[in-house]
Chain A
Amino acid sequence: MTTLLEMKNISIEFPGVKALNDVSFSTETGSTHALIGANGAGKSTLMKVLSGAYHHYTGEIYLDGKKVTIRSPKEAQELGIQIVYQEVDTALIPYLSVGENIMLNETVNDMGKKQFVSWKHIHEKATDILESIHVKISSKTLVSELTLAEKQMVIIARSLVKQCKFLILDEPTAPLSHSETKELFRIVRDLKSRNVGIIFISHRLPELFEVCADITVMKNGEFVCKEKIAETSQNRVVEYMLGEKLEEQFPKYHGEIGDHILEVNGLYDTGMIKDFTMHVNAGEIVGIAGLVGAGKSELCKALFGASKVTAGEIKIKGTTAKIKDPSQAVKKGLALVPEERRKEGILVQESVAANLTAASLGKFAKVLSFLDFKREKEVSSQMIGSLGIKTPSQETRVQNLSGGNQQKVAIGKWLIADAEVYIFDEPTKGVDVGAKKDIFELISQLAKRGKSIIYASCEFSEILGITDRVYVVYDGQVAKELDTKSTNEEELLFYSTGGK
């Protein structure tokens, strides 16, 4: 007997953003349904609504034509709707055993007046569930000893403790290796044959086409279409995902492109980056295009010495550079504007001036390392002026600035340091439109001065707008090298979703 799930006219708003606008979605048990859309399309939000993570949405949800209320995770679980989030670690308790984690909900909610835990019951039941999906993990292993893929399976097993009619998997394959993905698909098919309805969110088209029966495409918080996988093609789905987008204003200086400045040959890091080869010339802006989780940030960090490089070679101006940590990278003329601004890029408690000089304090030191406060003041106020940082004074703490101005501070730090190769990792994330334009302008100016730029982003319109050449990244590897002038968003998306 199949159960029909329908979500009708779902809308949800967050401060300043309409995340979902009148979205309808339907699927049924015993089938696998793909949900796809570009970043920010609202896939995860829609599924969070379904799993009860938000209570302030409007619209209705029906099970078999009967209206149900889902305003809390508990209500969703009681209806048999379970979700496995992408960040598996947030859902597990690492120093408890697999069995305890699987049976967690029961221990928390269904103990009633019982005060003592029955270990036998926990491990027996957990083992049963693990066996039922043919997963070979001992119930007594500690979760902290598991691999990421195994943790995911533990969470799936947990969702099977109670009745499970619908299982939502939010980008489950992003962190998995090829063979682990295969194993996950086996479980998905297994569950499907047990009449569980799977909703599968992913960026990777080939996977969706392999394992799913239906596909729903979303864009900018709206429903686009629902099709049968058998009756559509990857190219068509890409077209649906894109639609048209607002043209943004990009400065376009085609600077003089010079010699190779940075060359990367067969770079590997400890997991994500595999056999990465690229080069950047003087005065050139090179894009690293890829979806979230494709390995862009990992690449940036590996280049900058901020994560461990296990194999491969980095050459700067033709000579091999050994970069073991960021301080060596800075000496070799590299600069990184990291993605997680507040966590990695700026010092929120410090003044604008202290932030701007943090990467080049040596320039402001006199005899015996005493700081030249006058020069620090001069240079930082000059930088505040030339970048148009809106701040009451250079003594203002950076936490009081807006996101765009914080980002300008994070960039300005490296302008004072005067590097040769600038690596930008999602520099426009959380930045308003005006500041975005300033940042693009700034990057072009750098290229014009003959600096080499690496621009990593999942916003393809930006990649097309600002870069000269682009490497499309998929699963930690270069999927394709493209000339920006002769490519389009469709092609970028095609390669970054694993198309060949």
Chain B
Amino acid sequence: MSTANPEVQQKKPSKKGFELFDFLYKYGTIITILALIVIFSITSPAFLDGGNIVNILRSISIVTIIAIGITISLSVDGFDLSVGSTVSLTNAVVISMFVWFSQNIFVALLAAIGAALVVGAFNSFMIVKVRIPDMLMTLATMFIIQGIALTYTKGATVSQNMIMPDGSFSTGTIPEVFSKIGQVPWIIIIMIAAVLLVHIFLNYTKHGRYMYVIGGNKEAARLSGIPVNKYKIAAYLMSATFAAIGGIVLASRVMTAEINSGAPYLMDAVAAAFIGSSVLGAGKPNAFGTFVGAVLIGILQNGLVMMSVPYYAMDIVKGTVLALALALTYYKKK
């Protein structure tokens, strides 16, 4: 127990005896990124091109936006696994609004975000009221929503001029302005805005502090008079909202709705959020860290492609990086 004198304990961190593990914990991710940049720019000089940097940022933007949502759910000690499916669903909804129902852009966006909020509300009801553990419930939701998205699109890719079940061609078109969302610079601006917004929310507002308090010790938070359930509900709604934004951006980028289009993003986003927890020794999920985590994954992917590593081997590297990041977090916790 911590009965020792606080002055004595405090000396530990300031002692300059090089604590390799602490150092790795704080700066490991950033050092890895820098090392990767050096390695990749030596092996393929094109890596540091302005064009390629924009390319990397563009490629991580959707993952980052989704990961930001996961970060919020992690901050209340929850875990939202259903975001991948929510991305697929919102992607399908927004494209179908244009293509099938010839709606304008506002209706399309609102419908997509509305659909995501329903998912978030369902998650939070089952978790807060029925008290199913977060990860198990969102795992179930992941399947349900995946199925709903598939059923909604009847297992087909939704795109302009697609063949409808009755044999005719769809008549709706996707407006020009919608396609801008998924293009540089907007896609990068949206990502940076999301990161900044959530960073400010979590670190500089009352509500963000409450969420961290809940994540740190739910019982103490409750006995401090914090309405724990309300904040958990809010966290899942926000997580779903960011998934919706991710789905919309994805829709704009590819201008179609592929089946299960969001699924591949889930694991990258989870990895980014977990890697981010340790960045600069934060020790808790945070928006800036999540962004750094996403950058790490993005650089890795981009560099490996340039080094002609086959796409099918990519997951080995990504998984290993995640395992290392988790090892840092959990080994520290002991």
User: Which residues of A line the B interface, CB within 8 A?
Assistant: 304, 306, 325-327, 329-331, 336, 338, 343-350, 354, 358-359, 361-362, 364-365, 368-371, 373, 390-392, 396, 399-403, 405-406, 413, 417, 430, 432
Contact = CB atoms under 8 A, between A and B. Distances in A.
The size class of the interface chain B forms with chain A is: 20 to 34
Contacts of A430: 1
A361 B222 contact: no
Given A361-B209, A361-B210, A400 B222 contact: no
B219 A344 contact: yes
Interface of B: 1-7, 9-10, 204-207, 209-210, 212-213, 216-217, 219-227, 283-284
B225 A364 contact: no
B12 to A, nearest CB: 9
Given A354-B213, A361-B210, A368-B205, A329 B225 contact: yes
Contact of A325 (B1, B205, B210, B222): B222
Contacts of A346: 217, 220
Given A304-B223, A365-B205, A349 B216 contact: yes
B204 A371 contact: yes
A67 B5 CA distance: 44
Contacts of A399: 2
Nearest to A347: B216
Contact of B206 (A345, A369, A403): A369
B216 A350 contact: yes
A390 B1 CA distance: 17
Contacts of B221: 347, 358
A50 to B, nearest CB: 27
Nearest to A417: B225
A348 B4 contact: no
A390 B9 CA distance: 12
B226 A327 contact: yes
A447 B227 CA distance: 29
A402 B4 contact: yes
Contacts of B224: 326, 330, 358-359, 413
A369 B207 contact: yes
B284 A370 contact: no
A476 to B, nearest CB: 21
Contacts of B227: 325, 327
A401 B213 contact: no
Given A338-B223, A347-B213, A361-B206, 17 more contacts: A326-B223, A336-B223, A344-B219, A344-B220, A345-B220, A347-B217, A348-B216, A358-B226, A361-B209, A361-B210, A371-B209, A392-B10, A399-B2, A401-B2, A403-B1, A417-B225, A430-B1
Contacts of A406: 2
20 contacts: A304-B223, A326-B224, A329-B225, A330-B225, A343-B217, A348-B217, A349-B216, A350-B216, A354-B209, A358-B209, A358-B220, A361-B206, A361-B209, A362-B206, A370-B206, A400-B9, A402-B3, A403-B2, A406-B2, A413-B224
Sort A-B residue pairs by CB-CB distance and give the 3 closest, nearest first: A330-B225, A365-B206, A359-B224
A205 B29 CA distance: 62
- A304, A359, A373, A432 — most chain B CB neighbours (10 Å): A359
Contact of A347 (B3, B7, B220): B220
A406 B1 CA distance: 12
A350 to B, nearest CB: 6
A402 B6 contact: yes
A371 B206 contact: yes
Contacts of B9: 400
A358 B1 CA distance: 23
Contact of A327 (B206, B217, B225): B225
Contacts of B223: 304, 306, 326, 336, 338, 344-345
B212 A350 contact: yes
A373 B205 CA distance: 10
Contacts of B284: 349
Nearest to B210: A361
A345 B1 CA distance: 16
B213 A331 contact: no
Nearest to B227: A327
Nearest to A393: B10
A396 B10 CA distance: 8
Contacts of A392: 6-7, 10
A461 B31 CA distance: 58
Contacts of B219: 343-344
Given A325-B222, A403-B1, A370 B204 contact: yes
A362 B207 CA distance: 9
B245 to A, nearest CB: 21
Nearest to A328: B225
